Every structure is written in structure tokens, then in C-alpha cells.
A and B are shown apart, each in its own frame.
Chain A
Amino acid sequence: MICIIALAVFSILAVFSASYRPLAAEAFDCVFRKATFRKCRTNLDQRLKSQITGKLLTKSPGLARFVYKRFEILSWIFVILFIASLAYTVYGGYNYALYGNCYGPEDNGGFCIYNALEGEQFSKIHAELEGETVLPTADDDPAMGPDDAKVEMIEFGCYMCPFSREAQEVVKQVLEKYGDRIKFVYRDFPIEQSGHSDLHMASNCANEQGKFWEIHDLLFTEQEVCAQTTGEEREKQVQDIAEQAGLDMAEFNACMKSEKYEDEIDKDFQDGLKAGVYGTPTFFINGRTIIGPKPLRAFEKIIDEELEKAENGS
């Protein structure tokens, strides 16, 4: 029954290379004939069996013998494994579409290759975590929502990261939905490559004037404009944004000039690294991570679970 696998494998290869097409056709013919209880006309199964055995003959005669004698059983095992893995792939795909990760609703943070990636939907830094992971705290960073909320969601974001911007939409939906039941904290994680800590500096200066969230939103909406400017032009751009956010410009300019929030930003960054953050945006929801701009349902799943946990616990 090796023909079934051969059919699948050769069919896929045939898409990319014409030289596999006759083999795929042969495998199809073979499967078709076997399905109708006839002998495979081209003896593809026999040929594959002999090829595998022949290859093994030089390397491990014992194994060659084993494979040759039990080829039919072995190919059945492979067919079953193949179909099972195919089924799992489909199931994973279904889960991914529904829950944003391939484990489905039961996801408990296990390794899932499709979890973080849809392509690589986060801006990566090349950091490797040394030592133990330390979960981040809210620290003294800008926060929204009550301090005693049952769920605390900390985002490590970067104003120059398009994925952080994309996630911004979902964050809004999350906050709208959960309102007082969630505390949201934003921490600075200016990714190395962009080196745009001026934007983070600006947001900290705005925080002084109690206008953090205003500038926060503006920085994301104006991301592309910022990305296109440098030097003085860029400075001007940041000032425009600050003005739009309704800041006292004299105070803001003084703050920017003093660079006094550099340490604060660096602390956020270091805390992020300690927590194992390797890209933005990374969310910690009561310590559980979401990386990249995941759909709302991915957030809902974790938040609902955490809320339920808290309710049951209290």
C-alpha cells in the first residue's frame, strides 16, 4: 500500500517538477487498481520495495531483509501514520482558523509551530535569553484599568513595529470588551533594528503630562510617516504628533532634550529580555504569552480562562 504514500508524495512533487508527473500518474494508476482489487500494473510497489531493499542491502543487510519480508505491513503502518498526520494537519489548520493556534481550545502553552507564526508576524530582535525567565511586572509603566483587576495584560511594543501597530486594533477591542475586568500596561521595547527610542521617549514625556494614551495612539497611526523621516524632519514630525496630542510644547521639548527617560526605556527593554521577549508585540496575560498580532479570539480564550480561574479561586 506504499502506492498511497507514493501517490501523495509524488503528486506534491509533481506540482513543482514535471519529472515527477509520470511517477504520480503511475502511483495513481496503482492505487486505483489496488482499490479495485487488481494487481498494480506497473509494479510500482514492487519497484519501490526493491529500491528500498537494494539501498539497505549495502548498509544493513539485516534491516534489508526485515523491510523486504514485512514490506506490506510496514507500508500499511506508514499509510496509517500518513493519514493520521494528514488528519492532524487538517485539525491543526481548523484550530488555527478558529482559535489562532493549532492546539485548539485546550492550548496550554505547549510548543506549536503555528502559534506565533503566520509568516513571522512580529519584529524580531536577535537576543538569546541567558539565565532564568523572569515574568514582567507592570512596574511603573503607563497602565489602564483598575489595579486590582483579575487580569493583567502587559504589552511589550515598539512604535516602529508594524505588527505592534496591527495588534493595536485588537488591543482596543480587548479593552472595550473587558473594560474594568482587565488592567492593560504598555512597556517600551524599541526593537534594536529600528533604534527609534525617540518615539518611546516622546510617549514617556507625554505621560508626564497625563497624555500617554493620546500620544500612544497617535504614534501608531503616524507610524509610516515617522518611518519615512529622519533627523530634523523627524524631530518636527514628533513635535507635530505631540502637538496633536495636546501637550504643553515647552514642557515637552524640555523633557525631550533632557533625555531623562532613557533609563526608564532601557529598564523596560531589559525586563522584556529577562522575560524572554524576542519580538514585538509580545503580550503577557497573567504571565501567559501571545506573540504577534493574534485575532481577538486568541486573547479572549486566555482572558476568559484567567477570569474563570480567578472567580473559581476566590
Chain B
Amino acid sequence: MGLNVEGIRKDFPILQRKLAGKPVVYFDNACQSLRPVQVIEKINEYYKDFPACGERSMHKLGKKVDEGVDKARKSLQAFFNAKRTEEIIFTKNATEAINIVAHALDLSKGDVVLTTDKEHNSNLIPWQLLKEKGVKHEVVEFNNLDALNDKLTKNVKIVSMVHTSNMDGTSIDAKEMIKAVHDNGSLFMLDACQSAPHKTVDVRKLDVDFMACSGHKMLGPSGIGLLYGKQDALSKLKPFVVGGSTVSESTYSSCDLEKPPHLFEAGLQNYAGIMGFGAAADYLKKTGLDNVSAHELRLNRKITDAVGDSVELLGPKNPELRGSIFSFNVPGLETHNVAVMLDEAANVMVRSGAHCCHSWFNAHKMLGSVRASLYLYNTEEECDVFIKELQKIVKLLS
């Protein structure tokens, strides 16, 4: 069953609008996706109908909040096929989720952490800075099992890898990598920011220990993310942001710590964000991620066929290996200039620059790329607009 794109588009208010007299062609979905009314209404519902505290208030409004949060947690548990709702921890974004693991895992001198060479800064810097504790961070080639095996030693405590690169859209064979890591007795963390919005990420099938993703890349509100932790993996974490909500009891000199997920959700939460995130997961589940990725692939193929050869493509030519991302350089033009021109000419909104993957671009002596990233509401007509304007830029200016 294909996607009813026309119907989907009606759910997104911004797509009904025009900017400077032209419709918006939003191709910056890898940064943040647009939001459907279902999510917007969910957020509003909290603020309008029960804008109160969760977890501690016995009154009717407080109960409503708890119900809403529980429902969202269940939606996300189902979305990622987690075994328990307690394994779903809400964070403010994926970066926070990764930082929680990096700092709560209590790594010490001599321990080794591995990441790939294509990490977003959010899955690089938290590990890199552990060197102050004497923890060694090493890089292995993206999606190269042999390279990984070469680096897997006894000292490797955790391997954290990006599932799908936000830079070029390529993905790792997560299952294979995770198995190798587990065989080595190490933990595995998956940065699913760019995969979760587009394809099924089944944490149980993959058998990840930790997984991070952000709500705002998958139709959810800004400022909400998620850390999935397998129950026994979570038990290895020592919380470091503590206070309200993380204890059940305290005296002047002692406290009883809560269990996950509350142990990692200190202070009052972004309830509207959490509920909106739940609604987003429901929306995607209902739409069917297989439909979403098939649709994106069709669009990406169209773009690749039309302009793939006239630009310097990042990653493999085959769009199947790049999913929803078409990342490129126009010879002789700065990436930001291309992005500004596309925006000015036809409201085509793309991302340009290093996409928070400076390390990779620096290693490859490149400044960055222009990235068009697609999602379920994008259309062939929008691709035509993008292709037309890009062809003009290539033909006239490069």
C-alpha cells in the first residue's frame, strides 16, 4: 500500500501556506521535520486542558498529566518494540540521551570507547571529552565490520554508532555490528536520530543496549528526545542529574533513589513535548514506516536520476543506500550559497555546511555539502522544482 501523500500534506499547516508567494518546499527534514496538526493539538491539549505537574499531584489535572505521559511512553515503547515502558526515558534531545550514557556509565582510566568516523558531533564530543577521565576514544570506519573487529579489545566498554548518517544517508548493518560488539562483551549504543523517523528500529531485534533519538526529526515537538536502555544496561548507569522525581524518599543525609525511567528524568518534565512525541509516534506507526521509506526512496531516485551526475554526490550513487538523503556539492560553489539560492529562487529549503560532522569533512579536506533530506509529505512536484532550480545553478554558475 502506498502513501496518500495528498492526505498527509493536509495534516501539515505549514504546507498549506505560501512564503513570498510560493509554496514551501521543505527538504531539511534531517534537521527537523514539520509537524502535523495531530501533534500540534496534542501539545495544545496539555497547555489548554491540564497544564499541571506530573508524578506528584493528586488532583484531577495531575492525574491527567500522568495518564498523558504514560500513554506517550507506551506509544514509544510500541514504536521501538521495547520490552518494558520503563526502558523509555524522555530527554530533551538525542544529544542529552547520549551524554547521559557517556557520563552515567562510570567509565574509568584505561577504558576504550569506539565510534564510527561519520558521527554527528553529538555522538563524538561526549565520548571525546572523556579523555579527561583517562578514557580512550577511538574511531572505526563506518559500517566496516572488519575494522570494528580489529579494534574490539577487552578494554572496549561501549561502542556507540550512528545508525544512519545525517551527512549522506548511508546506514550501518546494525545487527551485525551489535553482535560483534556483544561477542566482545561490550555495550552497544545506537544513534537512531536519522533512522527512527524513516524505518523500523526494533530495539529488541537489534538487541541494542542503548538507543538515542530525537522527537523533532520524527514529527514530534522540538526539545524532546528519548533514551532507550535495556533494563540491565540501565542498571549499570549511575545517575548524575538528580533531584526532584529521581528519589522516593530523602533525609538530610540519605535518599532512596527511584528506578528508571524516573531515575533519569530529574525535575518537572516537558509534558507537552512528551505527549506530542507520543502522538508523532502514533502518526508514523499508523502511516507505516515501510510506506514512508518506499516513498522517500522513489523521490530520491527521481532526484538522483535527474541531477546525480551533474553534482558531486556524497555517498554512493544508488539511492537505496542513501534512503531519504541527497547530499551533494556543486563544483565551484560554496554550499551555503547554493542553499541560499535555492531558498530565494523557489523556497527550496535545504541544509548546507558540515551538518555537525566537521570531523568527517575535515578528515576528507572538504568544507561541507548541501543536503536535501526528504520525508513522507514531500512530493514529486517538489522534487521537480528542486531539480529545475539546481540544474539552473549548475548550468549557469558552476
Could you list which residues of chain A lie within 8 angstroms of chain B, going by C-beta atoms? 43, 46-47, 49-51, 53-55, 57-58, 61-62, 64-65, 68-69
Tell me if B43 counts as interface (CB < 8 A to partner A): no
Q: Are A61 and B340 in contact (CB under 8 A)?
A: no
CA distance A55 to B346 in the complex (A): 9
Could you list which residues of chain B lie within 8 angstroms of chain A, going by C-beta atoms? 334, 336-346, 389, 392-393, 396-397
User: 14 interchain pairs (CB within 8 A)?
Assistant: A46-B334, A46-B336, A47-B336, A53-B344, A54-B341, A54-B343, A54-B344, A57-B341, A57-B344, A57-B345, A57-B389, A58-B389, A61-B396, A65-B397
Q: In the complex, given contacts A55-B344, A57-B341, A69-B397, what are 5 additional A-B residue pairs having Cβ atoms less than 8 angstroms apart?
A: A50-B340, A51-B340, A55-B345, A57-B344, A58-B346
CA distance A43 to B344 in the complex (A): 16
Collect the chain B residues with CB atoms within 8 Å of residue A46's CB: 334, 336-337
Judged by DSSP, the binding face of A is helix
Collect the chain A residues with CB atoms within 8 Å of residue B341's CB: 50-51, 53-54, 57
Between A46, A49, A57, A68, the greatest number of chain B beta carbons within 10 A of the residue's beta carbon is seen for A57
Between A46, A53, A55, the greatest number of chain B beta carbons within 10 A of the residue's beta carbon is seen for A53
Collect the chain A residues with CB atoms within 8 Å of residue B393's CB: 57
CA distance A54 to B389 in the complex (A): 9
Collect the chain B residues with CB atoms within 8 Å of residue A61's CB: 392, 396
Q: Are A54 and B396 in contact (CB under 8 A)?
A: no
- Return the chain A residue nearest B348 by Cβ: A54
Q: Are A53 and B397 in contact (CB under 8 A)?
A: yes
Pick the contact of A43: B336, B338, B397 (CB < 8 A): B336
Collect the chain A residues with CB atoms within 8 Å of residue B346's CB: 58
Asked, given contacts A54-B345, A57-B389, A57-B392, whether A68 binds B340 with beta carbons under 8 Å apart, the answer is: no
Asked, given contacts A46-B334, A47-B336, A61-B392, whether A68 binds B344 with beta carbons under 8 Å apart, the answer is: no
- Return the chain B residue nearest A69 by Cβ: B397
- Return the chain B residue nearest A52 by Cβ: B344
Name the 6 nearest CB pairs between A and B, nearest first. Answer: A54-B344, A50-B340, A54-B341, A50-B337, A65-B396, A57-B345
- Return the chain B residue nearest A65 by Cβ: B396
Collect the chain B residues with CB atoms within 8 Å of residue A49's CB: 337
Q: Are A68 and B396 in contact (CB under 8 A)?
A: yes
Collect the chain A residues with CB atoms within 8 Å of residue B336's CB: 43, 46-47, 50
Collect the chain B residues with CB atoms within 8 Å of residue A55's CB: 344-345
Rounded to whole Å, the gap between the CB of B385 and the closest CB of chain A is 10
Rounded to whole Å, the gap between the CB of A57 and the closest CB of chain B is 4
Collect the chain B residues with CB atoms within 8 Å of residue A51's CB: 340-341, 344
Q: Are A47 and B396 in contact (CB under 8 A)?
A: no
Rounded to whole Å, the gap between the CB of B26 and the closest CB of chain A is 17
Rounded to whole Å, the gap between the CB of B370 and the closest CB of chain A is 12
- Return the chain B residue nearest A68 by Cβ: B397
Collect the chain A residues with CB atoms within 8 Å of residue B396's CB: 57, 61-62, 64-65, 68
CA distance A62 to B397 in the complex (A): 10
Rounded to whole Å, the gap between the CB of A72 and the closest CB of chain B is 14
Asked, given contacts A65-B397, A68-B397, whether A50 binds B392 with beta carbons under 8 Å apart, the answer is: no
Rounded to whole Å, the gap between the CB of B20 and the closest CB of chain A is 10
CA distance A49 to B334 in the complex (A): 11
Rounded to whole Å, the gap between the CB of B195 and the closest CB of chain A is 32
Collect the chain A residues with CB atoms within 8 Å of residue B340's CB: 47, 50-51, 54
Collect the chain B residues with CB atoms within 8 Å of residue A65's CB: 396-397
Rounded to whole Å, the gap between the CB of B347 and the closest CB of chain A is 10
Collect the chain B residues with CB atoms within 8 Å of residue A57's CB: 341, 344-345, 389, 392-393, 396
CA distance A254 to B383 in the complex (A): 91
- Return the chain B residue nearest A66 by Cβ: B396
Rounded to whole Å, the gap between the CB of B86 and the closest CB of chain A is 46
Rounded to whole Å, the gap between the CB of B338 and the closest CB of chain A is 8
Collect the chain B residues with CB atoms within 8 Å of residue A69's CB: 397
Rounded to whole Å, the gap between the CB of B345 and the closest CB of chain A is 4
CA distance A58 to B392 in the complex (A): 9
Collect the chain B residues with CB atoms within 8 Å of residue A64's CB: 392, 396-397
CA distance A68 to B341 in the complex (A): 11
Rounded to whole Å, the gap between the CB of A56 and the closest CB of chain B is 8
CA distance A64 to B392 in the complex (A): 10
CA distance A36 to B389 in the complex (A): 36
Collect the chain B residues with CB atoms within 8 Å of residue A58's CB: 345-346, 389
CA distance A144 to B353 in the complex (A): 81
CA distance A51 to B334 in the complex (A): 13
Between A54, A64, A65, the greatest number of chain B beta carbons within 10 A of the residue's beta carbon is seen for A54
- Return the chain A residue nearest B334 by Cβ: A46
- Return the chain A residue nearest B341 by Cβ: A54
- Return the chain A residue nearest B343 by Cβ: A54
Collect the chain A residues with CB atoms within 8 Å of residue B339's CB: 50
- Return the chain B residue nearest A43 by Cβ: B336
Collect the chain A residues with CB atoms within 8 Å of residue B343's CB: 54
Rounded to whole Å, the gap between the CB of B194 and the closest CB of chain A is 27
Collect the chain B residues with CB atoms within 8 Å of residue A53's CB: 337, 341, 344, 397
CA distance A304 to B346 in the complex (A): 63
- Return the chain A residue nearest B393 by Cβ: A57
